[in-house]
Structure formats: C-alpha cells, structure tokens
C-alpha cells in the first residue's frame, strides 16, 4: 500500500513539475492573459447588464419565467467562455513543443508517459478553470447587487461541475489531437472534432435549462465524466514518444493505408478456407466480450420494450389471429414478400441499418450503434408485450413472426454490433505504441472482414427466410387462431 | 563492463531503414565520435541509446540498463545534448535548470548548487537576468550542455556540441569533454567537425546510410584506410638517386632535387636508420617529418566508397 502511495506521489510530483512550468509560462504570455482577463472581468459584467435588461424587458410583458431561466443560462455561459481557452492551450501542448523543438529534451528525461500526459493536461486546465470560477464569481456578485438574485446551492454546484467536466473533456480531446499531429496548425484544423460536439452539447444544455429540467444536467455531468475518462485513457494509450518525435509530416499515404488494410483483412491467410477459419476463430475468441455486451444490450432492449407495453398499450384487436389467413399471403406478395425482390429489399434495409449504426458507432465509441441496434429488438419486445396483454401467447407471436428469420438476423445483429463496438473502441483499446491511423485502419479491416465473412451471409440468409419462410410459418401457426 | 553496449541495433520507419545493424561499445572514460553525412542515422542511433526511440531490432544497454525494458532508468543515467537545443524562451537560466533538476529528481538545493556552478563554469553566470529567448546561439548551446550535465550522468550523448559556438567557447566545451572523460564518463559525440573528432575521440565510428562503415581509433582508421604514414625528408644538398638511401621495403612516393617522400609501416625503426645512413655519407638533413593526413581524408574516402561491412 505504501509503495502504491509513494508511486502515486512520485507520479503526481512529475506531472505537477510539468504543469507548474507550463502554467508559469502561460502567465507570462499576454496573448493568453488578455482574453482571460477580458472573459473574467469584462464579460461577466456585460452578462450582468444583459441579464438585467432581459429581466426588465420580459417582466414588462408579463413573462418573468423567461428571465428566471435566462439568468442561470448566462451563468453557464459566463463559466464556459474562459474554459474555451483551455482548448487552445491544450491543442498547443505537444504540437507546440514539437514545433519549437523543445520536446526532445523533455522526452529524454526519466518522466513517464503518464506524468508527461497528465502534466500537460493539468497545465491546460488550471488557468482557464481558475478564470472561469472567477468569472462566475464576478457574475454572481453582480447579480446579487443588481437583481438580488441568489442561485440555489444545487444549481451553483451543477454549473461548477458542468464547467469543470466540460473543460476536462475539451482538454482531454485536444491533448489527444495535439499528441497525434505534427504542428499547431494541424492541431487547430482538427479541433473541430472537439468544438462541434461541445457546441452541440452547449445547445442541448441551453434547451434543458430553458425547459427548467435541471435534474437532467446531473446526467450530462455523469456522461461527460465517462467521456473524459474514455478520452484520457485513449490519450494515454495513443501517447507515443517515438511518434511524437519521429513523425515529420501529416500526410495521407493511401498506398500505406491500403497495405495495412490488406494485411489486416487477409490476416496472412494462404487460402479462402484458412481465411475463413481464422475469421471464425477471431470472432469467437477476440470478440467474446463485445459479443456478450451486445447480447446483453439486445436482451435489455427486449425487456424494456415489454415493459413499455404496459405503459403504452395497443388495442387488443390488433393481435387477433383471424387476421392471418391465406388472403394475408396474397397481401404480403403484393407488398413484395415471397418474391426475390422482397428478399433483396429486406437485405438492403438491414444492411443499410447496420452501415448507419457503424457510422454512428465510429464517432461515439460504439454507443450510438448499440442504441440503434437495440431499437428494433425493443420494438419486438414491445409488440410481444402487447400480444401478452391482449391475452395471446407472446411466444406464439415470436415463433410465428420473428423467430424463423431471427435465428440468423439476431446473430448477425449481435456480431455486427460487437464488431462496431470494437471499431468504435479502437482508439482506446489498440496495442500500446500503435499510431492512431494504423489502429483505425486495422480496426476497419477487422470490421470489413467480419462484415463480409459473417454478417452479410447471415443477412442474406435472414432476408430469404423472412421473405419465403416466415410468412408461411406465420400463416400456418396463426391462421384461425 | 561497457557503459554503452549496442548489438545489431536496427531502426525502421515504415519501409525506410534509418539504422541498420549497428554494434558498438563505449567504455567508462572513453569518447566515441559518431561521424557521418546528414541523414546517415547518427541522431536516430543516439535517440535509441537515450531510450527515446525503441529499436526495431537488436539490443542496447546503457549503464547496465536495457533501453527498452528499463527506459526510465536509462533516461536518468544519460545526459543528452540534442541537436536542437529547444529552450523555453520565456524562462531564465536558473529557473530552467531548476525545472530540469526537479524532473531528474534532484533535491532543490543540490540542483541550485550544481546549476550555479555549471553556469559559472560555462560563463553564463553573467546572463542570469536574461530570458533564454535573449540568449545568443552559442549561449543557448552552452545552457543546453549545462542541462545535460546537471544530474551528473554517467553517460553523455552530445549531438553537435560545438556547432554554434565561437572558437573560445568551443575550446571550453572540448576541454570540458576531456575532463568528463577523465571522470570516467562514457561519451558519444556526434559531429561534423572532423578536427574535433580527431582531437577528442578515442574511437571513431563512421556511419553511412544507417550502417557503421568504419569503426576504430583515429590512428588505426588512418592506417587502415589511407595506408602507412608518409614521411618527408628534406636535405641540405641535392639528392642523387633517392631510392638508394632508403632501406629495403619502403615505398617511394615522390622525390625532388633535395627532398623525398616515402611511406613506412614503422617510422620508429626506419627513420633513425635513414638518418644514420645520411649522416655517415655527410649529407646534411634539414627535416624528417610525417606528412599530416587529416581525418577528413579518411572520412571522405569512407563515405565516398561506402565501405559497407568492412570493419
């Protein structure tokens, strides 16, 4: 225990040495000090004036609630503006040192990667956060004196927590970018990966605050803490002294990218059967954890769907068996089922959904992909729940309408979802020392490999079953029920 | 045990091999000069030894620590003077050195004491009030050297230590390197200055296209690569038939009316013999001296011919 404490203290000492030097350096730079001073002193006073004018205006027209909602929103804005500077500082952290050629002496010291990384993070956070807290204080003091408005302790803690965790998220993201680029210019160009999500977040938070649902802000704080943890882990995972020093140019080398992709896709297989055996081995070995997670997520979706059936119950007549007879087959044929075109359409729709899930998964560490894939399963649960509530057998419903093609479609969704999760998590789970680009390309190759070798064949089978088999089973099981 | 040992070190960046099969050792109290044209792989080799870059193949140890598995200990044992000094320009010298002292785990008082003493040694104590951005190139280089020496490392890796210095400062730094050698440090100097390498180095490794193409003491390199020493004999009277005065086995290179140049594998033996012969014949001797052959000659010959794997 004492060894761990001593190691932690040593880690902290190293990180703080870096941070302290950089903070001192920042406090000597007028280009950083001037905007901080303006945003800390002048901007809160301007917001005070704005708040007073707005409150006077809306009160005149009998809508004081708008003023009540505007003041906390401006509190958040006053806190946010100074922390935006942390982004600039963090983007410069590694790329700037590299450009000024002062990185090599630092990398040659016994400092560990985590000391360097956290030192840079702390240095980027402390001055803007200090300025932000000061700005919030100035704004609050102004409000107390001008309008006599005092925030509840909960709101104040929420705003402070949001401000802090937003700064940590921005800095974590920006330090990742800075450690992966060769110049400050390149880092600034890539900053949109941080700016756009944060801008959307601020818009969302504004809506929530105007809506008056302040409790939701706690969930946002929690989500942001998770994102910050993921980004920090990703940053440390990707941190590589060699890459920092060795990379000379940010070029997109298509030939190299293709070679890496091809190598990962083929996985050194000598024949198609060897390739396929390797793929199956990979799926059931390396993808075990994401497959379990995905299966658990889909099960949860089904349970949630059934649960919602109790809250939003559909009319029972919808589930009367007499609707499913031979005439129904003709109706289905008219809609394209029981025809090859229908099978192609179903395959296309399913493949499109998985592609969309993959795209969303890439930018959200796989989270949105999982949610998207949970939706249809949740709907099935919802209908099955409604069937049960209508006094019918939900098992029969599943057996007749879902299970025939679900025997292939659900495994396809699970494996595909697991593959997307792996792709989304590539940046935080790649082997230590790999470059971000190489890691992404390899993960992408794995995703294509699983898609081509397993998911697409399963989807084709599922589409054929859904088109030609499920309607017949449905009619035979449900007709005259 | 060698202070620095590299065995078959290789470093590849994608398809490009920057360093190929480099094997060398540096003993305590030895200076090794790494010579080679730009892009030859000197800095990459130094970075691998300093545990900044991870070798693609091969092994290396510094002060008994492995450069891959004990990188932190290696970095703590090495003083690295980088090619680009990369100082923090808003800081002052003492503040800068205090920071590095802290990073190397020195007690603040010790770091302060060493910093002041080194700054004084290198004549930077007069510039304590200046920010590093106001330093001249030479001053920056000296401060970077002070930074590398601050934690008293047992291994010094110096990349172009005198490149930006005036002659007086360069002389001072060379004297310092001599002193550090005397204090049993193992030193690698990367340089383009061949006179400096010749003056400082106990051994020289010439590196070209990532490979060590020549590796020996300066004297042995000269001997191996440009042959035995060449002597010049000047006489006070016309020489008639130079060949006749030279002992058997010596190679006559050229001769004039009153002078002769010859190559000898062992001057200690042949020169007294020649002088005795001339004296007995009554021919006055003005000088008998070795023709200066610079390391530059060796270097150019090696680099031009690319003597891969010769040594």
Of B13, B98, B22, nearest to B67 by C-alpha is B22
Cβ of A21 under 8 Å from any chain B Cβ? yes
A396/B contact by beta carbon, under 8 A: no
pLDDT tens-digit readout, B25-83: 999 999 999 988 888 899 999 999 999 999 999 999 999 999 999 999 999 999 999 88
Domain tally, chain A: 2
3-state secondary structure of B211: strand
CA dist., res. B85 & res. B158, Å (int): 11
CA distance A105 to A114: 17
A352 touches chain B (CB under 8 A): no
Say if residue A78 is in the same domain as residue A31. Answer: yes
- CATH homologous superfamily of domain B230-290? Alpha-L RNA-binding motif (3.30.70.1560)
Instruction: Tell which of A246, A262, A289 closes a domain.
Output: A246
The verdict on a CB contact (< 8 Å) between B90 and A28 is yes
C-alpha–C-alpha distance, residues A454 and A279, integer Å:
9
CA–CA separation, B227 vs B247, rounded Å? 19
Q: Tell whether A339 and A388 lie within a shared domain.
A: yes
Q: Are residues A93 and A206 in the same domain?
A: yes
Quick one: A350 and A409 in the same domain?
A: yes
CA gap A98, A120 in Å, rounded = 13
Q: Mind listing the pLDDT tens digit for each residue in A371-428? A: 888 999 999 999 889 888 888 888 888 887 788 888 888 999 999 989 988 887 776 6
Which of the listed residues A225, A246, A267 is the one where a domain comes to its end?
Answer: A246
What lies within 8 Å, CB to CB, of B69 at 6+ separation is: none
Are A323 and A469 in the same domain?
Answer: yes
Write down the domain spans for chain B.
4-223, 230-290
Average pLDDT over residues B202-226: 84
Query: Two tokens at A46?
Result: 């301007």
Q: Which of A101, A241, A256 sits opposite B86 (nearest CB)?
A: A101
- Give the number of residues written for chain A: 481
Mean pLDDT of B189-212: 87
Please answer yes or no on whether B52 and A103 come within 8 Å at the CB atom. Answer: no
Residues of A in contact with B73 (CB under 8 A): 110
Q: What is the dihedral of CA A85, A91, A97, A99, to 10 degrees?
A: -120
- 8 Å CB contact between A163 and A75: no
In 3-state terms, what secondary structure has residue B35? strand
Kind of pairing between the strands at B31-35 and B203-208:
parallel
Looking at the structure, tell me whether residues A80 and A156 fall in a common domain. Answer: yes
CA dihedral A129, A130, A131, A137 (to 10 degrees): 110
Q: What CA–CA distance (Å, rounded) separates A368 from A268?
A: 33
Q: Are residues A75 and A104 in the same domain?
A: yes
pLDDT value of residue B14: 73
Average of per-residue pLDDT across B284-294: 83
d(CA B132, CA A238): 32
Q: Which residues of B touch A101 (CB under 8 A)?
A: 82, 84-86
How many other C-beta atoms can be found within 10 angstroms of the C-beta atom of residue A99?
A: 16
**Same domain, residue pair A85 and A193:** yes
> Could you give the strand order of the β-sheet that contains B259-263, starting from the edge strand earlier in sequence?
B251-255, B259-263, B230-235, B285-290
Whether residues A466 and A324 share a domain: the answer is yes
Q: What is the pLDDT of residue A21?
A: 92
Which residues fall within 8 angstroms of residue A222, CB to CB, at 6 or more apart? Answer: none
Query: What secondary structure letter does DSSP report for A465?
Result: I
- Per-residue pLDDT tens digits of chain A, which is 481 residues long: 566 677 777 778 889 999 999 999 888 888 888 888 888 888 888 888 888 888 888 888 877 777 778 888 888 888 898 888 888 888 888 888 888 888 889 999 999 888 998 999 999 999 999 999 999 999 899 888 887 888 888 889 999 999 999 999 998 888 888 887 778 888 888 887 788 888 888 888 889 988 888 889 999 999 999 988 988 888 887 777 777 776 655 566 788 888 888 988 888 888 888 888 888 887 778 888 889 999 999 999 999 999 998 888 888 777 765 556 667 777 777 777 778 888 899 899 999 988 888 888 877 778 888 888 899 999 999 988 988 888 888 888 888 778 888 888 899 999 998 998 888 777 666 665 566 777 788 888 989 999 999 999 999 999 998 888 888 888 787 765 4
Is there a single domain that holds both residue A285 and residue A210? no
Give backbone dihedrals phi and psi of B88, rounded to 5 degrees, phi first.
-85, 105
Chain A CB contacts of B99 below 8 Å: 17, 21
Nearest partner of A120 among A249, A247, A244, judged by Cα? A244
ipTM of the prediction greater than 0.85, yes or no = no
Taking the Cβ of residue A257 and every Cβ of chain B, the question of whether any pair is shorter than 8 Å is answered with no
CB pairs under 8 A between A and B: 72
Q: Which of A246, A263, A296 is the last residue of a domain?
A: A246
Q: Which fold does the domain B4-223 belong to in CATH?
A: Rossmann fold (3.40.50)
The two tokens of residue B152 are: 């008293």
Three-state SS for A138?
helix
CA-wise closest residue to A389 among A302, A322, A310, A311? A310
CB–CB contact A108 B103 (8 Å): no
Same domain, A443 and A353: yes
Q: Is A104 on the interface with B (CB under 8 A)?
A: yes
DSSP B52: S
**Residue A412 CB neighbours (<10 A):** 23
Bridge partners (DSSP) listed for residue B17: B12
**What's CA B173's distance to the chain center, in Å?**
13
Question: Are A37 and A6 in a shared domain?
Answer: yes
Question: pTM, whole model, 2 decimals?
Answer: 0.73
In which domain, by residue range, is A74 found?
2-246
Q: What secondary structure letter does DSSP report for B237? A: S
The pLDDT assigned to B311 comes to: 37
């Amino acid at each position: 225990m004492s060894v761990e404490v001593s190691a932690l203290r040593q880690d902290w000492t190293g990180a703080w040495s870096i941070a302290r030097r950089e903070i001192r350096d920042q406090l000597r730079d007028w280009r950083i000090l001037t905007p901080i001073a303006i945003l800390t002193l002048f901007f809160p006073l301007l917001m005070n004036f704005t708040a007073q004018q707005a409150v006077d205006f809306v009160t005149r027209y009998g809508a004081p609630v708008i003023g009540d909602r505007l003041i906390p929103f401006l509190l958040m804005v006053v806190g946010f503006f100074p922390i935006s500077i942390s982004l600039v500082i963090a983007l410069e952290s590694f790329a700037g040192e590299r450009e000024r050629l002062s990185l090599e002496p630092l990398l040659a010291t016994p400092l560990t990667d985590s000391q360097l990384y956290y030192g840079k993070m702390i240095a980027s956070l402390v001055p803007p956060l200090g300025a932000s807290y000061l700005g919030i204080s100035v704004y609050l003091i102004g409000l107390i004196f001008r309008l006599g408005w005092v925030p509840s302790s909960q709101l104040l803690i929420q705003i402070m927590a949001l401000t802090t965790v937003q700064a940590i998220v921005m800095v974590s993201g920006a330090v990742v970018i800075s450690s992966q680029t060769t110049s400050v210019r390149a880092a600034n160009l890539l900053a949109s990966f941080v700016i756009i999500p944060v801008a959307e977040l601020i818009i969302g938070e504004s809506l929530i605050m105007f809506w008056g649902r302040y409790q939701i802000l706690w969930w946002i704080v929690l989500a942001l803490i998770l994102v910050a943890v993921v980004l920090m882990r990703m940053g440390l995972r990707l941190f590589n002294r060699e890459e920092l020093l060795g990379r000379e140019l940010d070029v997109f080398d298509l030939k190299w990218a293709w070679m890496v992709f091809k190598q990962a896709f083929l996985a050194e297989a000598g024949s198609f059967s060897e390739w396929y055996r390797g793929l199956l081995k990979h799926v059931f070995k390396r993808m075990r954890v994401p497959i379990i997670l995905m299966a658990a997520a889909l099960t949860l979706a089904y349970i949630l769907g059934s649960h919602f059936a109790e809250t939003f119950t559909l009319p029972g007549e919808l589930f009367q068996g007499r609707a499913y007879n031979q005439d129904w087959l003709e109706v289905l044929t008219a809609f394209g089922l029981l025809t090859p075109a229908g099978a192609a359409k179903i395959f296309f729709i399913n493949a499109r959904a998985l592609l969309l899930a993959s795209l969303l998964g890439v930018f959200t560490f796989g989270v949105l992909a999982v949610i998207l894939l949970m939706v249809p399963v949740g709907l099935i649960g919802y209908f099955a729940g409604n069937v049960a509530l209508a006094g019918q057998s939900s098992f029969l419903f599943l057996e007749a309408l879902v299970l025939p093609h679900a025997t292939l479609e659900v495994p396809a969704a699970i494996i595909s979802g697991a593959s997307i999760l792996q792709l989304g998590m590539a940046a935080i789970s790649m082997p230590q020392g790999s470059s971000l680009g190489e890691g992404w390309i390899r993960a992408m190759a794995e995703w294509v490999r699983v898609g081509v070798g397993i998911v697409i064949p399963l989807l084709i089978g599922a589409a054929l079953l859904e088109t030609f088999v499920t309607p017949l089973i449905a009619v035979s099981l449900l007709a005259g029920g | 045990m060698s202070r620095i040992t590299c065995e078959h070190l290789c470093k590849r960046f994608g398809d490009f091999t920057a360093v190929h099969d480099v094997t060398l050792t540096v003993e305590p109290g030895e200076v090794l000069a790494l010579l080679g044209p730009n892009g030859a792989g000197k800095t990459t080799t130094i970075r691998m030894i300093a545990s900044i870059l991870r070798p693609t193949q091969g092994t290396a140890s510094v002060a008994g620590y492995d450069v891959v598995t004990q990188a932190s200990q290696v970095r703590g044992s090495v003083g690295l003077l980088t090619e680009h000094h990369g100082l923090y320009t808003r800081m002052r010298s003492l503040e800068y050195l205090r920071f590095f002292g802290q990073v190397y785990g020195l007690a603040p008082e010790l770091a302060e004491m060493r910093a002041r003493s080194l700054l004084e040694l290198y004549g930077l104590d007069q510039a304590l009030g200046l920010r590093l951005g106001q330093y001249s190139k030479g001053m920056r280089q000296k401060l970077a050297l002070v930074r590398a020496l601050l934690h008293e490392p047992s291994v010094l890796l110096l990349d172009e230590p005198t490149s930006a210095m005036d002659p007086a400062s360069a002389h001072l730094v060379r004297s310092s390197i001599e002193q550090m050698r005397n204090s049993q440090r193992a030193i690698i100097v990367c340089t383009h200055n061949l006179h400096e390498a010749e003056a400082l180095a106990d051994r020289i490794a010439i590196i070209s296209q990532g490979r060590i193409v020549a590796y020996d003491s300066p004297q042995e390199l000269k001997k191996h690569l440009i042959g035995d020493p060449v002597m010049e004999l000047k006489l006070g009277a016309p020489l008639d038939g130079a060949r006749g005065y030279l002992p058997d086995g010596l190679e006559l290179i050229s001769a004039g009316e009153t002078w002769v140049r010859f190559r000898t594998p062992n001057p200690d033996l042949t020169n007294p013999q020649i002088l005795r012969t001339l004296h007995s014949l009554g021919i006055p001797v003005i000088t008998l001296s070795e023709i200066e052959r610079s390391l530059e000659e060796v270097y150019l010959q090696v680099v031009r011919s690319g003597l891969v794997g010769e040594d």
